[in-house]
Amino acid sequence: MSSSLHLSIEALEKGPVQLSGELPGKFLELEGEPSIRNISPVEYQLQAELKGSEVLVTGEVKAQMELECVRSGAFFSTIIQESAFLRDYSTEDSGESLNLSEDVREAVVILIPAYPVSPEAQSQDFELPKLPEKLRELPDSHGLTPWSDLDQLNL
């Protein structure tokens, strides 16, 4: 991972720490996904507090990107946002600093829909693109359809 987000345990001993900024879109490691493009920087606004031997991190993480609609095939822009980011870390296992990178990445990636549908395709008046007339008709092979073999089974 080319970019990372680290938090010093020593800084937390003085009180809560505010973390805000951006990580590059490449941070999400989604370059090979053909249905995702134009990923903006990942924005984060986090607050970390020391609670005994635990570090509590809360806040918001978001990124804008274009997803391919599974209904229309067109790309549409959307914001993937985790507005209730909440993680806790043990100070005993972390050493001198915490690496929040993987959890920030996961918070965005896990919210990317498996079957994204654009707002236009969700509307009631959406129609799928029409196929040309000659592609809509199956060639007639003596009245046979793709189901003909199954229709002849005696079960």
pLDDT in tens, the chain (155 residues): 447 899 888 888 889 999 999 999 999 999 899 999 999 999 999 999 999 889 999 999 999 999 999 988 899 999 999 999 999 998 887 778 889 999 999 999 999 999 999 988 877 666 666 666 655 555 555 666 667 777 778 87
DSSP character at residue 116: -
DSSP character at residue 33: -
Domain ranges of the chain: 6-127
pLDDT computed for residue 136 by the predictor: 53
Name residue, tokens 């092979």: 141
- Its pTM stands at 0.73
pLDDT computed for residue 151 by the predictor: 77
Up-side HSE of residue 133: CA atoms within 13 Å toward CB? Answer: 0
